[in-house]
Amino acid sequence: MSSPALVLLAEALRISTPYACAALGGIWAERSGVVQIGLEGVLLAGAFAAVAVAHASGSAAAGLAAAIAAGAALSLGHALIVERARVHAVVSGIALNLLAYAGTRLLLRGLYDSASSSPPIEGFRAGPTGRSGAALLARVLLDPVVLAAALAIAATPLLLARTRFGLRVRAAGEDPAAAAAAGVPVTRVRCAALALSGALCALGGAHLAYDQHRFDAGMSNGRGFIALAAVVVSGLRAGRAALACLLFGALEALQIALQSAARGASRAADLAQLLPYVATLVALGLAARRGAAPGGGAAP
C-alpha cells in the first residue's frame, strides 16, 4: 500500500474513533429503551475531564479515567432524570447538551482564565515517530483509546447477545412491562446501561482532546449527532455503526485532502467541506426508506 493510501487510512481511523465511541454509547442507551441525544454533551464533558485531570496530574491515563467517570456520571444522571423524574428523554438530552456546552465554558474560564481553550497537554505517546504513512498508521493503531474502542466494538454484540446483563438490557428496551413481570429491575438495568453508554462515549471525547492536545470550547462540533445518525443507519448493531463511522471518517479525511489540494479555489474547498455531511444525509434517507418498506426496521 502506498504512503498516501496509508496516510488516508490512518486519518480515517483517527477521525472516526470519537464517532465510533459515541455511536457505541448510543447503541447501549437505545437498546435499554432510553433515547440518548445527549451524546454531544457527553463527548464534551469527557474531553474536558480528560484535559483537566491530565493537565493537573501530568498523567494521560488519569485523564482518561476521569473522562470515563465524568461520562458515566453525566449519562447516569440523564437516566435517573428520565426514569425517576419521568422527564421526556429528548428534553433531558437537550438539557444535557446545553449543560455540557455552558459548563465546560464556565470551567475553562474558572480554571484557565480562557473562554476558548485550555493549556496544551501531551496525551498518549505510542508508536514510532516520523511523518511517513506507515509511522502515522502505527501511532493510530497503538493508541490506547483506539485499542479500547476496537475492543468495545468487538465486545458489545457478545455482551448484548450472550450475557445476562445484555439480555436484560435488550428486554428492558424491547418490552419493559414483560421484563418487569419476569422480575427484571428495569430502572436499575437502564441506569447501568446508560452509565456504560456514557463511559464509552466519553472515550471518544478523551481521544478528541488528546488528538488535539488541548480542550477547545465546543470541540465536539456535532460529532454526537453524526454518531446518532450512525446508530439509526446501523439498526442498533455495533459493527455496522462502526463501519458507518469509519466511512464518515474516511470522507472527512478525503475532504481535508481535497480542501488542501483546492486551497487556491475557495468554492471547491467549500464544496469539499460538505462531502461528509451530504453522505450522512443520503445514508439517513436510505435508512428511512428501508424502515418504511415492508419488513424493514431495526435488527433484533
Q: What is the mean pLDDT of residues 96-119?
A: 94
Residue 293 confidence (pLDDT) above 50: no
Residue 153 confidence (pLDDT) above 50: yes
* Per-residue model confidence (pLDDT) at position 275: 54
Q: Rounded distance, CA 231 to CA 156, Å? A: 13
64, 199 contact by CB (below 8 A): no
* Per-residue model confidence (pLDDT) at position 55: 95
Q: What is the mean pLDDT of residues 181-210?
A: 96
* Per-residue model confidence (pLDDT) at position 129: 78
pLDDT tens sequence across 238-269: 999 999 999 888 888 887 777 666 555 555 44
* Per-residue model confidence (pLDDT) at position 45: 97
Taken in order 264, 282, 240, 160, the sign of the CA dihedral is positive
Name the band, by pLDDT with cuts 50, 70 and 90, for residue 297: very low
Q: What is the mean pLDDT of residues 98-122?
A: 93
Q: Rounded distance, CA 113 to CA 136, Å? A: 34
Percent of the chain with pLDDT over 90: 70
* Per-residue model confidence (pLDDT) at position 295: 38
Residue 133 confidence (pLDDT) above 60: yes
Residue 157 confidence (pLDDT) above 60: yes
Q: Which residue has the higher pLDDT, 1 or 122?
A: 122
* Per-residue model confidence (pLDDT) at position 246: 92
pLDDT tens sequence across 49-79: 999 999 999 999 999 999 999 999 999 999 9
Q: What is the mean pLDDT of residues 98-119?
A: 93
Residue ranges of the alpha helices (H) in 235-274?
238-261, 266-273
Instruction: Give the Å distances, CA to CA, from 121 to 56, 113, 118, 124, 126.
Output: 10, 16, 9, 10, 15
Residue 292 confidence (pLDDT) above 50: no
Rounded to two decimals, the pTM is 0.88
- Give the contacts of 174 (CB within 8 A, at least 6 positions apart): 33
Residue 120 confidence (pLDDT) above 80: yes
* Per-residue model confidence (pLDDT) at position 286: 61
Q: What is the mean pLDDT of residues 142-157?
A: 95
Q: What is the mean pLDDT of residues 208-216?
A: 95
Q: How far is CA 82 from the centre of its chain?
A: 21
pLDDT tens sequence across 21-35: 999 999 999 999 999
Q: Across all residues in the chain, what is the average pLDDT? A: 87
